[in-house]
Amino acid sequence: MRHTLPLAPQFYVTAPQPCPYLAGRMERKLFTALQGEQAGELNDTLSKQGFRRSQNVLYRPSCAECSACLSARIRVKDFELSKNQRRVDKRNEYLMRRTRAPWATEEQYELFRRYLDDRHADGGMADMDVFEFAAMIEETPIRSRVIEYSTPREGRGGGRDLTAVCLTDVLDDGLSMVYSFFDPARRADSLGTYVILDHIRLAREANLPYVYLGYWVPDSPKMDYKSRFAPLEVYVGGQWTELDDPAAFKSPPHPLSNDPIAEQVAQITLPGARPVRG
């Protein structure tokens, strides 16, 4: 199915398939290609409207009967470490951070495979080979970085061991954590939490107001950790709203559940334009 906007990107919708987060539900995505001279501007604009990047595609959930997946971002200036997060930050302060261009390495892929095999062996990325991994890292038409965290080796030989990695996009209003993975043997170190905390630190240093975490899904244990980074804002009903009490939050009925895809597309604001009308 294809929906064309005048002088604008073309938007498509995927066929329904089983939801990876909530059992018994079906997911569907609205997406468009990310390419050309305006790729960065398009990514910035659509990220503010709940879209996420995967290689050269921007997408957001567009499920017919569900609105559980909510784009989430941390408001950096108001973020304060909890007691547990302070412990995590202290526990991992020895890690060495290195920011690189989006270029895949064998060392990254080996860590990625260990992470998937331990944490997501039955997930949609479980069969990703080294070439697909390289595409995930390298196929980006915008300003992206690979941020590596390494453990220094003791002794005269020195060296380091790659411990965590995050593919990060630099937006005009924040850092978007596209995908992160880490050493599954270091579960007690809460490396996933630490990487988010360090991105908050990086955003502050760059005077960027937000860290985008992807989608938060109420009632999904896989996504529950995101609600611990307060103040967290979620994109609901076309606007960003602070998440006051995650435990009490209930997803509203999908506001577009009975609308055709063309009407959803018509509500999207494109760079330098008012909301596009059909």
Total of domains in the chain: 2
- Each residue of 118-145: pLDDT tens digit? 876 566 677 889 999 999 999 999 999 9
- Both 200 and 221 in one domain: the answer is yes
Indicate whether 241 belongs to any domain: no
Confidence of residue 251 (pLDDT cuts 50, 70, 90): low
- Both 81 and 61 in one domain: the answer is no
- Both 181 and 81 in one domain: the answer is yes
Residue 266 is predicted with a pLDDT of 86
**Residue 2 predicted with pLDDT over 70:** no
Neighbouring CB atoms inside 10 A of 160's CB total 15
- Both 229 and 259 in one domain: the answer is no
Q: Helix/strand/coil (H, E, C) string of 104-160?
A: CCHHHHHHHHHHHHHHCCCCCCCCCCHHHHHHHHHCCCCCEEEEEEEEECCCCCCCE
- Both 20 and 106 in one domain: the answer is no
Tokens at residue 78, please?
């108001």
Indicate whether 138 belongs to any domain: yes
Residue 155 is predicted with a pLDDT of 67
Neighbouring CB atoms inside 10 A of 261's CB total 18
- Both 172 and 54 in one domain: the answer is no
Indicate whether 274 belongs to any domain: no
- Both 55 and 105 in one domain: the answer is no
Residue ranges making up the domain that contains 221: 74-233
Tell whether pTM > 0.95: no
- Both 132 and 17 in one domain: the answer is no
**Residue 53 predicted with pLDDT over 50:** yes
- Each residue of 54-68: pLDDT tens digit? 999 999 998 877 888
Q: If you average pLDDT over each of 26-40, 97-111, 224-238, 259-273, which comes out highest?
A: 97-111
Residue 275 is predicted with a pLDDT of 46
Confidence of residue 244 (pLDDT cuts 50, 70, 90): confident
CA distance 10 to 94: 46
Q: Specify the CATH number for the domain of residue 83.
A: 3.40.630.30
Indicate whether 272 belongs to any domain: no
- Both 144 and 189 in one domain: the answer is yes
Residue 145's DSSP bridge partners are 168
Tokens at residue 60, please?
């957001």
**Residue 1 predicted with pLDDT over 60:** no
